[in-house]
Chains A and B, each alone.
Chain A
């Protein structure tokens, strides 16, 4: 397959707000269920092990007109919960048999409550994760949470989920994470070969496709793009951060790159990159998932960092590791986690002498010229005036 045809397929999946591919999957697997989840992270291994299709729900983007959703939230709340509830009340999510709401912020927690009231027949769970990273405290708590989820999913699927199935699913997701990590490494080495708009669409496809199919697709893309050399531009290398929940319009990602920046790392679709290493397949599978979460997981605004001096280390390591020349903070308007974290991260960057620029967006932002100007002048300042 060519890059064009792969990206065209991913784009069609991205544009489809009626989730036809989920409906088709359910038709092809009579009796099978699909469960939605919101950012940032849920253990998809458990859903997969139950024979259920995990479906990532990231709001309605810039293609959905929010009519009902605004009635549920005040004007000072971000847009993703409005467009998500709009998707639901307009029947677009009726292919889902349940929803998981990870603990990312109060707004998403409230959304889980609304879901319980609005859709009493569906499985709804507010999936809490530990903010204590000691194995015998947070770890024990998290294993209990995983066990509750495992039992719930088993009941929905009509059969208990054996350890062997969780190990098999963990192996499938290990492979998916390995290929995604390879794709990120490839992009950091040759960013002109993997425009971030393409990488973004590839990752979005992974939110609706079965994991095995997604892994194959990623492999095909890597081979296809490597076989199609593209022109190298004199762009500066940046890490983009803050886009882990409400999604930017695709045009915004394109605008940053068009403005003269190569994005060499980002925090898109963290669910697929949250666990940094391969999860061991031997031993207790829940304990393995828990230890991976506690000891080797990514960072975001929704994760507690115990030691003040460690705040920002993950971002700085990414800058260094990916040879980035600056950081672009792009956060959704009214996103408390991202916007409250920003000054702490900026302080850490200041200490390291890493330049940055910052702006806000909404998932339906339409005017890209100011962002192009800002990202472009930032790129110029790095290319022309940095030491």
Chain B
């Protein structure tokens, strides 16, 4: 029997939501949407996005078999269940790129390397420390200082011919570095590439710490769409002889929401099975 589930991922910087239709082993996307939070109440935003998706697909809310939340969505009042981000990013990434060995989730607040098996089961993980210098929020701050839109950051970084190194330890020191670079008239592409390399350096170390030594690693989270970061990651992987291949996907940003919707379908069917078993007993 076909059914529809929803996945809602409340991140630090954006809310992502998807609707999926499941028929046996076939899982189809019906709709997806992402919106930056921009000082709005994330719970209200989640409700609005979810309602908009239902209207767009002309599906009554009551027909959704399971509303699964992830990220900071534990308080979404209309949720059926909540799953933790590692679990959902792993599942979503495996759906987008079967066969991967690890997930590198780089969001607004932190980066996280997750080692998984072929089913998407989390085997181990490591997170960046509390410092924000490896995060999307840090990159966004720098882009704002430089007067560059986030969407332009990746392209500009690829044009770099002589990247300038920044501190990879502390966001405050890195921001000071950037101010000095601007006053020294270092070009924007070279500043951005330097930041990408510094972030990539930390992220590759994270990957090594979970012992990802071969195979493909999927980038998820908001920064997965940053082609400059992906290129910097590849350079750092080669330099540090990490042995893995980092990949991204146009829908990487939805990995959490997607994983939540997929796990929602799994739980819906499992609960139905358990109910049938209980009735049989």
Contacts and interface: CB of A to CB of B under 8 A. Distances in A.
Q: Place the interface of chain A in its size category.
A: 10 to 19
B81 interface: yes
B251 interface: no
B126 interface: no
B81 A234 contact: yes
Nearest to A374: B84
B82 A376 contact: yes
A214 interface: no
Interface stretch (A219-227, A286-294, A379-387): A379-387
A233 interface: yes
Task: Describe B's contact surface by its main secondary structure.
Answer: mixed
Contacts of B81: 233-235, 260, 383
Contact of B263 (A259, A373, A384): A384
Contacts of B66: 234
Given A234-B80, A260-B82, A384 B87 contact: yes
B165 interface: no
Contacts of A8: none
Given A377-B86, A384-B87, A385-B121, A234 B271 contact: yes
B29 interface: no
B75 interface: yes
B74 A259 contact: yes
A interface, by DSSP: helix, strand, loop or mixed? helix
Nearest to A372: B74
A231 interface: yes
A316 interface: no
A54 B263 CA distance: 50
A168 interface: no
Contacts of B267: 234, 383-384
Nearest to A257: B74
A107 interface: no
A258 B74 contact: yes
Interface of B: 66, 74-75, 77-84, 86-87, 121-122, 263, 266-267, 270-271
30 contacts: A231-B77, A231-B78, A233-B79, A233-B80, A233-B82, A234-B66, A234-B80, A234-B81, A234-B267, A235-B81, A259-B82, A259-B84, A260-B81, A260-B83, A260-B84, A373-B84, A376-B74, A376-B83, A377-B87, A377-B122, A380-B83, A380-B87, A383-B81, A383-B83, A383-B267, A383-B270, A384-B87, A384-B121, A384-B263, A384-B266
Interface of A: 231, 233-235, 258-260, 372-373, 376-377, 380, 383-385
Given A377-B84, A384-B267, 9 more contacts: A233-B80, A235-B81, A258-B74, A259-B74, A260-B82, A376-B83, A383-B270, A384-B83, A384-B266
